[in-house]
Amino acid sequence: MIFYKSLLELDGANMVSILSFDSRSMECLLSEKNADHFSDEFPLIYKTKIFKKNNPNKFFYRSAIDNALKNNQMRAIQVIVDYICKYQNNFVSSFLFLKNFGTIV
């Protein structure tokens, strides 16, 4: 229920995608205290559709990892990767790393 509500209210994004520019926010949102709310069925880390400012007909996809890299938040990236390895450990999540794996390593 929380997943669907945040998805609809935040235009397909979630708080992890929005706040991924800040390491402290990521540590708080993805901490073990909130593990009861994490589920394999509803992933928190995924690519969201973002429309370009100059042309609303064109868009691109960005994930929380991309946002953290853009803002040079290495601790946030570590927290996100740890979360993905623990709760989203499946083949589909590997697509989050296709564009930026060389930068992270």
Please tell me the number of Cα atoms within 13 Å of 64 on its side-chain side: 29
SS3 content of the chain, % helix, strand, coil (to 5): 55, 10, 40
Whole-structure pTM value: 0.80
Distance CA(56)–CA(52), nearest Å, equals 6
Length of the chain: 105
pLDDT, tens digit (0-9, with 9 covering 90-100), for 3-33:
555 555 666 677 888 889 999 988 988 888 8
Termini Cα distance of the chain: 36
pLDDT, tens digit (0-9, with 9 covering 90-100), for 69-105:
999 999 999 999 999 989 888 888 888 888 888 777 6
